[in-house]
Structure 1
Amino acid sequence: MSRLVVVSNRVPLPQPGQPQAGGLAVALSDALSRRGGLWFGWSGEVSEQPDSRPSIRHHEGIDYATLSLSREDYDDFYLGYSNAVIWPVFHFNLGAMDYQRRYSHAYTRVNARFADCLAPLIEPDDTLWIHDYHLMPLARELRERGLRNRIGFFLHIPFPDYDVLRAMPGHRALLEDLCRFDLLGFQTANDRHAFEESATRAIGALVRASGQLRHRNRDLRTGVYPVGVDVAALADLSAQTLTTPAVQRLLDGLGERDLMIGVDRLDYSKGLEQRFRAFEALFDDYPHRRGHTVLMQIASPSRGDIAEYADLRQRLEGLSGHINGVYGDLDWAPLHYLNRTFERGAIMGLYRAARVGVVTPLRDGMNLVAKEFIASQDPDNPGVLVLSDLAGSAAELSDAIRVNPYDTDAIAAGLNRALAMPRPERRRRHERMMAVLHHNDIGAWERRFLDDLGGGHD
């Protein structure tokens, strides 16, 4: 069996005595452990003199090879082209794009440096699996250094329609770069279709059949691989952490009130402003909910060096204060807004305690919070998921209450419907969504992609 090489912008280095954060890291680590493998990428460190060669650690059968970034590359590659150009465009938010030519130069430069440092570590029969939007040029860079290995790429974020994509400077070069992979994986069929349309219109690629393209005498396959979660592990974790002192204190404070919960990174793509306004509309349109409902919104800090994110934080703090000031009472604060990161186990316990999960991004590749919320519920008395039509997970979770994330009145109606849903209907919906989660769990995602890439699976 060939060795697996995983490449990602950030490498989650194992910490002794601590579990890996997130199901995705666990799934990739499991795949690497089975086959013997290498995980390569940025260490997360910014240094004055970045490494000339990767630092390599060996842990439980996996080699972790990491590089630091210079301050200039962090600013222009990571904050710049990756997160101030690609991220907003791929999330259909052209108004947030901040393009500067030095950003695109840094994007090319860092991918070339990654290739310079990775290529000597690659063995002839290795299979490479490259992840996400930071590294779209990497296959081309590796091909130019003589590698002929099988190279797959998975895009974790949405792929925009061509009329949105073509507003981004450098989009044709990125499409050319993506065509140097052997397999491209997308979260949804819509994302794959958007790529294929862009590749045909912008660079003359030919769609030969469903999932098969040809460009510059090379064949390329595309596929849809929705990322899943470890369903059994999340169910067990949520049941265990429901009884922890922190979660119990919350439940004691709620009394008979209904808890709604949202957990997101602090990002404009998550629809948090619209969600807060919808929560306000819930009390205006359904006044019997006043005094009986609490929304806990956890928004973990993200990319605070980008002005758009700092401005969003200020607006959310203002909205939170306004809602609590207008609708709150001496013994009731309707909105608990927490701009900090919480331990994963505590989050799972909060999911299980909640009557409603609120997942309303303006655009999302998948949004695993939606799946985690479903997996964490008590099957005998489950909560209800209110889900944006524009999240990738909406393609699978048809039994959620689906809403337009821009329509605050519709979201408010969805929240009221979720709170009023009788227990038999909640159980039926939950059972059907759990069947979907089991079918498309995190292990199935990894196996299907690697099987299609041709790397084999034991």
Structure 2
Amino acid sequence: MTTSNEAGTDTPRAALVVVANRLAVERTTAADGSAGWQTSPGGLVTALVPIMQAKDGAWVGWHGAPDEELEPFHHDGIDMIPVALSAGEVEEYYEGMSNATFWPLYHDSVAFPEFHREWWDAYVAVNRRFAEAAASAADDNGTVWVQDYQLQLVPSMLREMRPDLRIGFFLHIPFPPSELFQQLPWRRAVLEGLAGADLVGFQVPGAATNFLNLLRRRLGWDTHRQEFVRPDGSRGRAAAYPISIATQAFEDLANSPEVVERAAQIREDLAAETVFLGVDRLDYTKGLRQRVRAFGELFTSGELDPEKVVFVQVATPSRERVEEYKRLRDDIELLVGRINGDSGQLGRPPIHYLHQSFPRDEMAALYRAADVMVVTPLRDGMNLVAKEYVACRSDNDGALVLSEFAGAARELKQAWQVNPYDIDGMKEAILAAGRAGKQETRRRMRALRKQVATHDIDHWAETFLADLDAI
């Protein structure tokens, strides 16, 4: 709906507002050179767009170009509210505070977090800008759903600006134990920021427990089970809502004639009896060094025959301007090169390393072509790649090796679960999954597929919003 503000100009006012670091659209360029917008392909957008269309929703987010201001626009039944960021804010708020402080800290300090006051100042300023945009976009007594670690201060800021709103927050990455969180110089502000939400959602119950414990121990607030009580006597709730994927859409894509044909071509090109697959962003939390080392030792020892077995690792480029990621890329490429040099033959490397992005249909073909999916992050909020692989295995075959430190491990209990820091244990699981008989793999895969089918992205979004409405 649209109402008029005091200045007399029309401002969109929505019953449901989603606030995320990025808008739900991305830029396109037509053949004639004209620019436009298309809906982003991510699972979160796919899940929320129908709900927002039904509720005249608005999406607040950065449009991706620094030092550019855009007016709100309408796209596919949703009001898009762009938030402008300067190049300096992208560097300090996003690359700095969000991805060099919160990201490593929340992932169990797999890399050392950095603490810089100027980054924090930018983070506060940008969060306030997002909160102001959401406050202007939300209708009276509307609902605002804030997404992820880049915007942890927005809930409390919104509560101050618009106490009439119902506010939800969901953290897509892990939330650390108190021993790690307490390193953060601005820990109180972050806790109060999150606790401005009526419902704070996490991927797993342990993360919600960590948050509630910190409210009690660091802020002195009363908590009872999943509830917390603010100093003014108002109440909020913290609970787990494991995110998922558009399961049926992935299954339909994997069964399309084009993807079936492409998967068969991949198998023919690889010319291997057994295909292992890894798919990750190139990120230090994904356990790539340990995984590649485990495969290297298996090929060197002959436990995996490089003439019959191949390991395909897709590493999607990520944050390539950050020094830590440059070092990781160099390390992986050197390690893969050494293993292929030691164990490979002319024209037949045992490890195929692909540092590039692929469209969804190519990913579905890879999932369909792989006998064993190996997902071994050192720490992960959920890991949707594991669920995507399961969704694409409609024939109930295939095996999943999964890190016990991924949030998905709580749901995908029939995977071969491993401690990614234990190289020998990972090697044993890889061999067990690769050598398992059809009866065992199908028994496990049927259970995995049932879980992923009944708990898809729509179930996640509908459950969270229903619980938020009930508060």
Name the TM-score, length of structure 1 as normaliser: 0.94
- Output one character per residue of 1:245-279: Cα deviation in whole Å (capped at 9) or x when no partner: 5x444221222431111111111010111110111
Aligned to 2:4: none
Query: For the Cα contact (< 8 Å) 1:282–1:415, is it kept in 2?
Result: no
Aligned to 1:10: 22
SS at match of 1:242: helix
* 1:223 partner amino acid: A
Give the structure 1 partner of residue 356 of structure 2: 340
Kept in 2, the 8 Å contact 1:213–1:219? The answer is yes
Corresponding residue number in structure 1 for 2:98: 82
Partner of 1:32: 52
Q: Does 1:445 align with 2:460?
A: yes
Q: Describe the SS at the equivalent of 1:361.
A: coil
What is the letter of the counterpart of residue 86 of structure 1? F
Query: Cα RMSD (Å) of the superposition?
Result: 1.9
Deviates more, 1:277-286 or 1:178-187: 277-286
Letter in 1 for 2:209: H
Instruction: Evaluate the alpha carbon distance shift between residue 17 and residue 69 of structure 1 in structure 2; reply closer, same or farther with a 3 A threshold.
Output: closer
Q: Would you say 1:262 and 2:278 are equivalent positions?
A: yes
Separation in 1, partners of 2:190, 2:272: 53
Instruction: Map 1:58-457 to 2 at 5 A.
Output: 58-93=74-109, 95-208=111-224, 210-216=225-231, 217-240=233-256, 241-245=258-262, 247-380=263-396, 382-454=397-469
Residue 280 of structure 1 aligns to which amino acid in structure 2? G
Provide closer, same or farther for how the CA distance between residues 13 and 274 of structure 1 changes in structure 2, counting only shifts above 3 A. same
How many residue pairs get aligned? The number is: 449
Question: Could you tell me which amino acid in structure 2 is paired with residue 136 of structure 1?
Answer: Q
Contact 2:111 2:284 in 1 (8 A): no
Q: Is the 2:272–2:307 Cα contact (8 Å) retained in structure 1? A: no
Asked if the contact 1:119–1:147 (Cα under 8 Å) also holds between the matched residues in 2, the reply is no
- Measured in 2, the distance between the counterparts of 1:349 and 1:367 equals 19
Could you tell me how far 1:215 is from its partner in structure 2? 2.4
Evaluate the alpha carbon distance shift between residue 199 and residue 94 of structure 1 in structure 2; reply closer, same or farther with a 3 A threshold. Answer: farther
Distance 1:152 1:17, change over 3 A: closer
Does structure 2 retain, via aligned residues, the 8 Å contact 1:56–1:64? yes
Q: CA deviation at 1:415?
A: 0.8
For 1:44, the equivalent position in structure 2 comes to 64
Structure 1 letter corresponding to 2:137: L
* Higher RCO, 1 vs 2 (CA within 8 Å, ≥6 residues apart): 1
Q: Give me the whole-angstrom Cα distance separating, in 2, the residues matched to 1:19 and 1:326.
A: 46
Structure 1: 5+ residue runs without aligned partners? none
SS in structure 1 opposite 2:159?
Answer: helix
Query: Do the aligned partners of 1:281 and 1:409 also contact (CA within 8 Å) in 2?
Result: no
Q: Which runs of 5+ in 2 are unaligned?
A: 2-13, 29-35
Change in Cα spacing, 1:423 to 1:391, as seen in structure 2 (3 Å) is: same
Tell me the CA shift for residue 94 of structure 1: 6.1
Deviation (angstroms), 1:95: 4.2
1:112 deviation in Å? 1.2
Counting aligned pairs with the same residue, the percent is: 39
3-state SS of paired residue (2:72): strand
Contact 2:89 2:122 in 1 (8 A): yes
Aligned-partner residue type, residue 57 of structure 2: G
Do 1:388 and 1:394's aligned partners in 2 also have CA atoms closer than 8 Å? yes
Distance in 1 of aligned mates of 2:62 and 2:37:
22
Taking the aligned partners of 1:56 and 1:163, their CA distance within structure 2 comes to 42
The alignment's TM-score, normalised by the length of structure 2, stands at: 0.91
